[in-house]
Structure formats: structure tokens, C-alpha cells
Structure 1
Amino acid sequence: MRIIRSRTARAVTAAAAVALLAAGCSSERGKEGDSEAGDTFVFGGAGDPASLDPALASDGETFRVTRQAFEALLEHEPGGSKLVGGLAESWESNDAGTVWTFNLRKDVKFHDGETFNAEAVCANYDHWFNWTGTYQSSAVSYYWQTIMGGFAKNEDKEAPEANYKSCTAKDENTAVIEVNEPSANLPGGFSLQALAIHSPKAIKEYEKQEATAKGDAITYPKYSQQAGTVAGTGPFRITKWNKGNKEVTLERFDDYWGKKAGVDKLVFRTIDTEDGRRQALQAGDIDGYDLVAPADIKTLEDEGFQVPTRDVFNLFYVGMTQEKNKALQKSEVRQAIAHALDRENLVKTQLPEGGKVATQFMPDTVAGFSENVKTYPFDTAKAKQLLKDAGESNLKVEFCYPTEVTRPYMPAPQDMFELMKSDLEKAGITVTPKPMKWAPDYLDATEAGSCALHMLGWTGDFNDGFNFIGTWFAGYDKQWGFKEDKVFDAVNAASKETDPAARVEAYKKANEVIMDYLPGVPISSSPPAIAFAKNVNPPKVSPLTQENFAEVSFK
């Protein structure tokens, strides 16, 4: 889900001084609250963004960047998970939850000078609904399909039935979006970066280009891979993406409708190791970074850095793709893998204080968490016996894991992989490691179901149980490669329940059904820490990792 830079007052080496000049030196800092100063705030990210168009993405590193430039109809309150107005000042639905009316903000401009209005909203939703070709791949349009279903004309046989019906500009400042069936994904889905609003002028340029695919490899359209075309309404506009230096540069948008950003420039720089990010902060090369290694928190605090910890709102899991691995279709094998993994040890050694062993596919901070799910405690002997019972004592599996990234639920991917690989091998499972670059290779491969075992996770987009279990188990998904109506029916029954209390109980039941079937192994939940320099006024930290860097300024 979802990067910052800091400087210290102490002397730096000549090499570091050069880096300071490149990123914006301390002499450029303005007085506190002086938004006219030419300040540059540099944030260290754990991975490259996949796209400058958030509609084509599903990962937090992309959304961290695009969130500063694009706004959705709804947002979340700063530092919390309560829905508040975004580009819509207010909203309401009919009793059935199928007609959503948005009263839009006035006097809002896009970065390219176009005017925001109801027609712009509908231009976006109709653009997504009418996607064709590779755009219909779940690896490209994941969030659209999750929230709104399929398309005006489904070309991909695996695309879900469309739930989006229409968007109407009732008047200049009133947009009405209709869906066919009520969904637990709404209204939360209207807050997603993937459904953020773009300039209609930019959309016309988007539609001249195509995404293409060769096997599992996706080639994204040119407009999404370089600055210059994308245009939102946010407090910053994207002006440069230097892929060679792994940097995205954004500049303050002075015609922004709300409070202007506290810095003139915002730079996201990819530093793909925890040590690298920490050292860059300590040297003054960056002003902040995310996903602080648990072992580094106290060190940084003792040195005077600011290291706030977010509330737990994520889940880390080992996924199993059954369709391409017959052994994983056997429940005894899936149970053996679950019993083989020492999750307590992983939490103790890899996560910050407050990390928890997961028992189901949502954290206990989400309503719908069940105390009655079937559990699979660490037991190597039992794992071996289950494999024997299944006739798979010599099981061999390929296990994919990501490189060049750190995630809120996954502080050190390779270290976590090595622990789990060792656990599986102790149970007699031969593991073939397959490391892959996070974006786009790993994300595309896991989405396409190319890995027998893989490690992934989820930071909630909004506070509803369906945003967790519905993300994976509302229907057939290539990532998991199974068809089990008992699971799908339980999850969907919960999503269609309109009474809030009954919905929570339905989520509990769905969690119990999921863990009885065991499509994968929920591992842990983690409270990710984020670090800032001493001279930074940081933004409010978000449990959803949705920090707004327009709130940043220098002391």
C-alpha cells in the first residue's frame, strides 16, 4: 500500500553534500509554514511505481506517488479510515445501494487547465467501462474489476460480469453513478486511487494507446510510463520520471482548490534495501522513508529522528496456485504447508513490536474477524504425516518471492522467504526459489497464477471486511486457481448483506469457511513504521498507508 527524505544538521561528507545539492540542499529550506519557499522534500521508497496512471496499478508504491497528484470522489480522513469527501463534497445512495449521487466541489482545475465537473467524472468511469484488449486483463484493470466487475463488452473470458451500469451528469456539479447490484465495495471503492479522476483531455490521449501482452508479460502504454500526459487535480503534478535514477519528481500545483502543498517539489526515490534507506536518512540524503526495519526503530529514535508507527491494518500470506499444481489441489497438502510454517518465529524475528500471527485472511482490527476459525499450528511432524497421507512425501514446489521492494506487511522479503523455505524443507518439501523484480514482473506473474507458491499481502483500502476476503475469494481468481462454490458463496453472501450487524456476522462465517478450505496460509499482520528527519513537520500517518505529502513542511 501503499517515501520521504530527511536531513540532519551535522556535517556531511563531500559526496553526501553533492547528493544534497541534487535533491535540494538545506540552504533552499524556507521558514516553517512558508509555502513560497523553494523546498524539495525527498522520500525514499521501497520499490518503483508500475505506472503513472493509477487505474492500471494495484500496488502501494504506485499509489503512494499517484495519490499526491490524483484525487478520487471520496477520501479518508487524515490519519484514519473514516470516509470523507474528496472531489465530492457529499454523497448519498438510494436504499438499495445501487444509485450513488455525488455533489461535486466547484472551482476545481486539472493540472492541464481543464475544468473538473460531472461530465469529467462520467468520462472517467465510461473510459474504464469501455476498456478492451489487454486492458481487460486482471493484471492491468485489477481494481476496476474488483469494484465494478467487467466491461461493456467482455473479451476476456475470465472477466467478471459487469456491475457498473452508468454515469450521468445530472447537472454541472452532480454526478450519478448506477450499479446493477449492491456491493460491500461501495462506497469505499469510490475512494480508491485506481478510480481517481483524470482530465477528460488526458483521457482522449490515453485512448490513442494500447497495453499489450506477451504471455504473462505486460507492456504498459507509453503515456503511463513517462510524465507529460497524465493530469489529475491533486496538490502536486507529476513532472518527471527518471527511471534510470529511479526517481519521480512532482511539483506543487499552485491552482490547487485546497490548501497548497507545504513544499515546492516532492521527489520519490527508490532505495530497495532497508539498510540503504536508513543510511540515506542518516546521511541527510533523504527527508524520510517508509517501512523502517524493526531493528532500526530504536536506533533512529535515539538519534533524534521521528519514527511514528501506524496502526495494524494489513495481512501477509503465502498464496497457493492450484490450477497449475495438482498436488496443491489436495487439501492435505495445503494443510501440510500451513503446519510446516513457523509463523510465531517469523513474527518474532521479522516484524516490529505489535506484529501478530494471523489466523485468517483479515487482521483483528477489521469487523468480521472470527474467533472460531480452524487453525493450523506449527507442527513439522504433522506436516510430514499429511504429505504422506496425500501420497506427496517427495513434494517439489516452485516458490516465488519479490526482490527490490519492501512492503508494510513484508519488511524483508528475502529474509522472510528464507525462513519459510527452511520450514518447508524440514517437513520434506523440496523448494525451488524463484526471485523476481517486484514491478512489474512479480506482480504480473502472481496475478496471472504463474507461481505455485508465492508471498504477498494486503493493506486495506477501506474499512470493510470484504476489502480483504472479497479481494481474493469472491470468485475464481488466477492467483489462487481454484473453484470452490462454498467459499465464493459465503463471501458473496456477506457482501450483499445490507444490515451492518448481520454483515459482520456473515463475514465471520465466511472466514470460517475460507480457513476450513485453506486456499493459502495467512501468516501475519504488522504495524509498519515510517521515518522522518528531525527538521521535518511530517504528515499524519495513515493505517491505510495513505499519507498526504502536501501536509509536509520543514521546520
Structure 2
Amino acid sequence: MRIARPMAAKLFAAVLAIGLAVTGCASERGEDGGGDSFVFGAPGDPQSLDPSLASDGETFRVTRQAFETLLDHEPGTTQLTGGLAEEWSSNDAGTEWTFRLREGVTFHDGAELTGEVVCANFDRWYNWSGTYQNPTLSYYWQTVFGGFAENGSEDVPEANYAGCSAPDPLTAVIEVAEPSANYPGGFSLQAFAIHSPNSLEAYASDEAGGEGENITFPGYSQEAGTVAGTGPYEITEWNHSGGEVTLTRFDDYWGEAAHVEELVFRTIPEEDGRRQALQAGDIHGYDLVAPADVATLEADGFQVPVRDVFNLLYLGFTQDGHEALGDLRVRQAIAHALDRENIVNSQLPDGGVVATQFMPDTVDGYSEEVTLYEHDPGRARDLLTQADRTGVEFDFCYPTEVTRPYMPAPADIYELLRADLQEVGIRVSPIALPWNPDYHETTRNGGCDLYLLGWTGDFNDGYNFLGTWFAEPTLEWGFENEELFGLLTEARTEPDPATRVGLYQQANELVMDYLPGVPISSSPPSIAFSPDVEPPTVSPLTDENFAEVRFRE
């Protein structure tokens, strides 16, 4: 679908040349800056229209416009604020969380939000069985709330969720067995957005199937019509062949109404394709602008706001996969070989920084006392000689068909790191894999000696970074370090935030001494909009609210 703008293609270059904003005809603009349709170029398809079943940003970018969570974040920050709950509190032990719900909230299908509906959602997730216990479908539930009412295998963690009650229509009380650093931040995750009770009933008769790597999502999650949330937009169509999801303004929304009537997310995998579509007037905005394109776009009148840093790119090691990686000297040699400053200067937008540890300095728990590994090829060669590993060869995996906030050009970053490693005598065999699902599955299962991955934080707690990687043994990292695992368990269950931050600092220092991988950089990802758009407040969490978008008069 091309945006209907009479004469836009003919006038586009001339309009930009004289510095005027591109504007559409009057029929496309309401008096309040509203319009018929806003089209956004997304780097990838969503996996599901049910955010409970997802763990990827492209799904959440879409569903966040239609589904809301108990807690949210202040626009443009990582500060928690009320969502569907106006107020929230916990007992001193951190095991009972009480949410006072907003009054008068209705779902897209007309059902009312109540405490009982909140509990029905949480009880649904807790009672998942069979295929739903595969982390592909329940990653965030298992990460934040543990296992289920009846775990189907020993691989599933013990449940921490203990129940939910609704003492009155506008109150929900959620109980957990142990306090956790994942609360209250976890209540802001899209995976725990609240669904209509009518939707929950329909979901029960349309289940996921398959096992292992062959998971089939339930039918309701792959087409519009069944899912219903409380957000400012409702999902009305998913055109799989055309790579578009369409959402329509929900006129009975409890908060400020969306300005634009229709919101379309169009998948355009390549950054060049997204940029060209914006320049041609086919879309109004896109994410993950290549650093080299920022100046050009701004010079042509486009808006390119930059988010604050809240992510991390790292080079991971699978120690079980290669004997040499079990030697600390080899891991240190790799760290000294990498010219991370060159990555920042050549591949990242302004504001990118070399990472010294496995979290950005914007996260509580960052330490100034970690061991540093400066770029020192001579030191790297010496360490390899001491370990008798000069000429060692590693498989090096990197993803294709993807652009990530922390990794704008995976192949280019790989080439620079490969050259650094080869300079000190480390040979590299490249393995390029499509991001979804091959790369995820291969790295998660320990199939790469070296690999590039990263993370954009969900909320501001150090466990959301360190705990994501190093809370327990995994195939991906392939190492055992009981001191580190124990320290992060202590941090996770520590109810006092200040004490918890101190434990994170200790953990950062321990991680960088042990060196399970090399943190490379943190990057402020850019997002672009056409000149005629009043963009949403950009977020370090990449959780922009497109209901804020309006067209300029």
C-alpha cells in the first residue's frame, strides 16, 4: 500500500530542497493533526499477535499499541509509572504485590477491566502445559515467574508465582513465593499485558502445537479478530504475504485518544530499503537508521531523533564448544585483540560507547572497579603464546537478515572483529545464519565458539542484564561458576534495592575477571520520521507509543 499523497512523488525533491515540510491533502489531515494512516517501516515481522507468546521486539512494537500492562514507563525514560494500575505497592518481604486498577477501562470487545480479569490472565500463564512450557512460547513467564502449576520436565524452573486474588473489583493482589529483582519491573513487560476475558476463553480452544524447534503458534495469534486488549489501537488485519499489520484507533480508549486513525507496520528487512521507502514517501518513519545515513537524512529535512543508551553488544564464548575457550588466557587474548573503539567510531551513531562490562552505565549496578581490557595486540599474542594456542581456530557466528538496536550492521562488525583476531594469530571460520530462527536456536544451544549477540533492557534493574546471561549454567555460555551463580541468586532475592545494587557491582567485577565473553559497545539507536510528522517520544527501551503520533498542519 502506497500512502495516498497527490503530487507527493513529483514535488518531494523540490519540497526538501527549499526546506519545506511535506504535507498531504486536506482530506488526509484532521483539525487536531490526525490523519487517515501512519505507516512505519519495521525491520522484521512480529511472531504473534498475542504478546504472551513472544520474546522479540518486533512483536512487542506492534502489540504494545493494542495491549497494556499493569505498570508502564514514563515516556522517554526507564522510570516506572502506572499503567492499567494507578497505584501499586508490596509488602515488606516483596512477596505480595497489590495493584489498584483504573476505573472505567474497557477492552476492544467491550468487556470491562477488573481485578478478576487480571487474575484470570496470570492464572492462564501459570497453568500453561505441554507446548506452552517450551521457552519459545513462555520465555518471559519462566524468566520472571518461574515454572507452572505442573511442570512438564526437569528443565522447567520451579514456579515462583503463588497466586492472584481480587478483593474488590478494582484491586488485584499477586503473590510470589520469593522476592525477586524482577519485581516490580516485570509487571511492565508486554508479555504480561492484560487480555480480554472473552479472548482468554477463545484462546483455550485454539492451542499451540509441536515440540523442540518445531513449534506451531496457535491460529488466533496469527490473524486479527480474536485478540483484544485495552490499548489506544486495536489490531484489525495481519497481511502475512504483504508483511503488514494494520491497527485501527479504539474510540472508547480510557486515556487520550490516538491522533491518527490507522496505524500500519510494514516489514522492510533491509535498512537501505527502509530509508529509500521513507525518502520516496511510501512510509512515514522507520527504525534502526544506519549511522552513515543520519546526516544525509537530516540534511534532506527528515527527523532522526536518537534514543538514550540502554543496550549492550557482546562477543560471546561457548566454553563447552572449544577446549581453548576454557583457558582464561585465551579469553583474555581475545579481549585484548579487539579494537572496540574502532567498532564504536565506524559502526555506531554519535553517542555510542565502548562497553567495559555487561551492562551500560545507565543501569543501576554499573561498577567503576571492573578489570579493563585495552586494545593491545602485543599482549594478546603473548597470552596466546603462554597458553600454547597461537594459530588456534574458532567458528565465529554472526546473524544475517537483521538489524538490531545494539548491532546496526552485523556483517560489517563481524569483519572488523575477524580482522582483529587474525592480526594476533587467531584463525576464524565464519558461520552466517538467518536471525530468525536459525541464529537464535544455534547460539542458544551452544552451537558457536564465538558469536555476536546483545540485549536492550526491559527495565532498569541490573538483574535484567546480568541475570539474563549469568544466573545459571546454560548451553549458550557453556561454563560453571558457582561463585557467580550464587552471587546473582543472592541479588535476585534481595528485597532492598540499595543492597541489590551493591551485589550487582560485585557481580560485574567478578564477570569481568572471569571473562565469559567480551562486552563490545552500547549504542543509542536512531529512529527516523518524515518532516510532516510529530513523532512519538522516543524511548531507551524502544517502547514508543504511536498513539502520540500526529501529522503537522
- Shorter-normalised TM-score: what interval? over 0.9
CA RMSD of aligned residues (A): 2.4
2:405 is the counterpart of 1:408 = yes
Distance 1:138 1:84, change over 3 A: same
1:459-506 alpha-carbon deviations (Å, 9 max, x no partner): 111111111111111222333232211111122222333333322222
Counterpart in the other structure of 1:30:
29
Give 1:516's match in structure 2, choosing from 496, 513, 516: 513
2:243 aligned residue: 246
2:65 pairs, out of 64, 68, 76, with 68
> CA 1:9–1:544 in 2, change beyond 3 Å: closer, same or farther?
farther
Once the two structures are overlaid, the 10-residue window that deviates more, 178-187 or 312-321, is 312-321
Match of 1:419 in 2: 416
- Whether 1:272 aligns to 2:269 is yes
Q: Aligned letter for 1:523?
A: I
The separation in 1 between residues aligned to 2:426 and 2:72, in whole angstroms, is: 45
1:139 is paired with a residue of what secondary structure?
helix
- Alignment of 1:484 with 2:481, yes or no, is yes
Deviation, 1:176, is 0.5
Aligned 8 A contact 2:111 2:198 in 1:
yes
CA contact (8 A) 2:533 2:550 kept: yes
TM-score by length of 1: 0.92
Equivalent residue for 1:548? Answer: 545
**8 Å CA contact 1:47, 1:438 repeated in 2:** no
The answer to whether residue 80 in structure 2 is matched with residue 83 in structure 1 is yes
Equivalent residue, structure 2, for 1:127: 124
Using a 3 Å threshold, how does the CA distance of structure 1 residues 489 and 364 change in structure 2: closer, same or farther?
Answer: same
Counterpart AA for 1:473: F
8 Å contact from structure 2 (residues 8, 281) kept in 1: no
Query: Which stretches in structure 2 are left out of the alignment for 5+ residues?
Result: 14-22
Assess if the C-alpha contact under 8 Å between 2:312 and 2:522 holds in 1. Answer: yes
What is the match of residue 141 of structure 1?
138
Tell me, yes or no, if structure 1 residue 497 matches structure 2 residue 502: no
Q: 1:491 & 1:352 partners in 2: Cα distance?
A: 33
| Residue pairs, 1:240-389, within 5 angstroms | 240-389=237-386
Matched residue of 1:477: which SS? coil
Residues of 2 paired with 1:49 and 1:534: CA distance? 27
Q: Does 1:441 align with 2:438?
A: yes
> 1:427 Cα shift?
3.1
1:162-195 Cα offsets, whole Å, 9 max, x none, are 1111111222111100011111110010000111
**Aligned twin of 1:527:** 524
> Given the superposition, is the C-alpha separation of residues 499 and 456 from structure 1 closer, same or farther in structure 2, using an over 3 Å criterion?
same
Question: Counterpart in 2 of 1:21?
Answer: none
Mapped to 2, the partners of 1:28 and 1:320 lie a distance apart of 56
Partner amino acid, structure 2, of 1:138: P
CA gap of 1:317–1:67, structure 2 versus 1, over 3 A, is same
TM-score by length of 2: 0.92
Cα deviation for residue 28 of structure 1 reads 4.6
Contact 2:131 / 2:211 at 8 angstroms: preserved in 1? no
* Residue 271 (structure 1) shift: 1.5
In the aligned structure 2, how far is the partner of 1:162 from the partner of 1:390? 43
Partner of 1:12, secondary structure, is helix
1:134-177 deviation per Cα after TM superposition (whole angstroms, max 9, x unaligned): 32222332111111112222223222221111111222111100
Matched, 1:151 2:148: yes
How far apart are residue 515 of structure 1 and its match? 1.1
Secondary structure of the residue aligned to 1:248 is: strand
Residues 1:485 and 1:286: Cα distance change in structure 2 (over 3 Å)? same
Q: Which amino acid aligns with 2:326?
A: Q
Would you identify which runs of 4 or more consecutive aligned residues in structure 1 move more than 6 Å?
5-10
- Residue 204 of structure 1 aligns with an amino acid whose one-letter code is E
Deviations 1:260-316 (A, max 9, x none): 111111111122222221111111111011111112112111111111111111111
1:187 aligns with 2:184: yes
Separation of aligned partners in 1, 2:480 and 2:200: 37
Native 8 Å contact 1:105 1:173 kept in 2: yes
Could you report, residue by residue, the CA deviation over 1:492-534 in whole angstroms, capped at 9, with x for unpaired residues?
2223333333222221111001111112111100111111111
Query: Which string of whole-angstrom CA distances, capped at 9 and with x for unpartnered residues, describes residues 523-554 of structure 1?
Result: 10011111111111111111111110001011
Q: Which residue of 1 aligns with 2:173?
A: 176
Is the 2:536–2:549 contact (alpha carbons within 8 Å) kept by the matching residues of 1? yes
Contact 1:89 1:104 in 2 (8 A): yes
> Corresponding residue for 2:201?
204
Match of 2:17 in 1: none
For the pair 1:222 / 2:213, whether they are aligned, the reply is no
Shift of 1:388: 4.2
Letter in 1 for 2:32: G
Deviation at 1:438, TM superposition (A): 2.3
Q: 1:548 to 1:374 in 2, by over 3 A?
A: same
Partner of 1:237: 234
- Which segment is superposed worse, 177-186 or 321-330? 321-330
**Which stretch has the larger CA shift, 351-360 or 138-147?**
138-147
- Local SS of the residue matching 2:89: strand
Q: 2:328 & 2:216 partners in 1: Cα distance? A: 36
CA contact (8 A) 2:134 2:211 kept: no
Q: How many residues align?
A: 542
Name the CA distance, whole Å, in 2 between partners of 1:448 and 1:13. 52
Query: Residues 315-370 of structure 1, C-alpha deviation per residue, up to 9 Å, x if partnerless?
Result: 11122223444433332332232222211111110001111000101101112111
Cα pair 1:50 1:440 within 8 Å, conserved = no
Deviation per CA, 1:96-125, whole angstroms, max 9, x where unpaired? 110000111122222233222111111111
Residue 536 (structure 2) pairs with residue 539 (structure 1)? yes
Question: Do the aligned residues in 2 keep the contact of 1:7 with 1:287 (CA within 8 Å)?
Answer: no
Shift of the 278–418 alpha-carbon distance from structure 1 to 2, 3 Å rule, reads: same
Cα drift, residue 11 of structure 1: 4.4
Contact 2:5 2:24 in 1 (8 A): no
- Whichever residue aligns with residue 421 of structure 1, its letter is R
Partners of 2:462 and 2:520 in 1: how far apart? 18
SS at match of 1:286: coil
Corresponding position: 1:160 with 2:157: yes
**Preserved contact between residue 125 and residue 167 of structure 1 (Cα < 8 Å):** yes
User: Structure 1 stretch 182-191 or stretch 479-488: which is displaced more?
Assistant: 479-488
For the 8 Å contact 1:247–1:267, the answer to whether it is kept is yes
Question: Given that residues 340 and 379 in structure 1 are in contact (C-alpha distance below 8 angstroms), is that contact kept between their aligned partners in structure 2?
Answer: yes
Distance in 1 separating the partners of 2:326 and 2:155 = 20
SS in 2 for 1:478: coil
Instruction: Sort the Cα spacing of 1:496 and 1:9 in 2 relative to 1 into closer, same or farther, 3 A.
Output: farther
